[in-house]
Structure 1
């Protein structure tokens, strides 16, 4: 394999079309301000490099990046690439990932608005991320031990599993399909409206007006903190282990909780049932 080591590269397409290449301890920065450094390459290994220029990894096949840094000026770093593994790396440029496939991200620090759009088959583990519109329209997602802060996250995603995660985000999971969240904390207002096939298992949910207009919604052994006007127009089966401030017009299904501060049933189409732990039941017919 060709080895490029300890060089400063700033020309346009500096390593364009490379094959079987190892890039060690290089700096992609300089007055030439060149773009697309490693575009259209394959079988690329990157170790301990610094990227301060735009679009370095477009249309790259078989890419490994370790212990590197992409600054805020490294915009749109990885687009249209496949079989990508990124470990121990800072990704701080806007739109860092888009339309990639077969991606593994481990132990990374991500600050990137519009990160991860239309990505297929992605695993993220032991990472921290901050973004807006995070992972929109992506499919086949597995997250473990990920901490996220932002807004409008995970919208329109399909086929996803999240485990041991901590999310502080508004408007998360809107229009999501076939999504499971386990052993996690999800904080933020207007959670998961219009989702279909969403399951929360042993989770803590915090914030106003969650889980409205959902289909095939399930909650198992979950806490709901500071949650009001929950489940409006949703088809839901929920087992809640903490009091709920209020429930409004669940369309169908059963919600079980130790206490509900207010039950609002003023829609004739709302047929859902609320069961209190002392076995009292409330539904529209009552």
Structure 2
């Protein structure tokens, strides 16, 4: 498994199609779709600062980390996603995705989140937004 530590990635599709990699303490700054079409990734304490970080992705684990407000529409058309101890400050997270596990996740802006998703497991999740009671 390829390992990337404490790196800053910029530009559109910075790590497009990454497969079988581990990212630790990395920042995905400006540039849309940094990990589009990626699979089999372990992300630890990573920060996502811009739009569409994980589209058409599969087999992704995010342990710790943060999605900034501009990381909107973060995880769409993806499957087998596991997020633990994550703060998501961006709207429209998770759409038309399946096999999602969320544990200790805080959605500070959950507008239009989890629309059209299937097989979602949640444990200790806080979501602030329309449609959440």
Q: TM-score, normalised by structure 1?
A: 0.45
**RMSD of aligned C-alpha atoms?**
0.9
Superimposed CA distance per residue, residues 6-60 of structure 1 (whole angstroms, 9 cap, x where no aligned partner): 011111111101110101100111xxx3110000011011000111111010001
Mapped pair 1:79 → 2:45: no
Shift of residue 74 of structure 1?
0.6
CA distance in 1, matches of 2:5, 2:81: 21
* Inter-partner Cα distance in structure 2 for 1:24 and 1:11: 19
2:37 equivalent among 24, 35, 40: 40
Unaligned runs of 5+ in 2: none
What does residue range 22-37 of structure 1 map to in structure 2 within 5 Å?
22-29=22-29, 33-37=30-34
Which consecutive aligned stretches of 4+ in structure 1 deviate over 2 angstroms post-superposition?
none
Match of 2:95 in 1: 98
2:123 to 125, 140, 144: 125
Instruction: Determine if the alignment matches structure 1 residue 3 to structure 2 residue 3.
Output: yes
| SS in structure 2 of the partner of residue 108 of structure 1 | strand
- Specify the alignment match of 1:69 in structure 2: 66
- In structure 2, the partner of 1:57 is 54
* 1:70-115 C-alpha deviation (Å, 9 max, x unpaired): 0111111100110000000011111011011000000011122111
* Larger RCO (CA under 8 A, 6+ residues apart): 2
Give the distance between the partners of 2:64 and 2:125, measured in 1 at CA: 13
Equivalent residue number for residue 279 of structure 1: none
Q: Secondary structure at the match of 2:102?
A: strand
The CA distance in 1 between the partners of 2:42 and 2:77, in whole Å, is: 17
Structure 1 stretches lacking a partner, 5+ long? 133-151, 154-166, 168-286
Aligned equivalents of 2:105, 2:10: Cα separation in 1? 25
Give 1:4 deviation, angstroms: 1.2
Mapped to 2, the partners of 1:76 and 1:48 lie a distance apart of 20
SS at match of 1:72: coil
User: What is the aligned length?
Assistant: 132
2:18 is the counterpart of 1:21: no
Q: Secondary structure at the match of 1:14?
A: coil
- Supply the distance in 2 between the matched residues of 1:19 and 1:57 (Cα, whole angstroms): 13
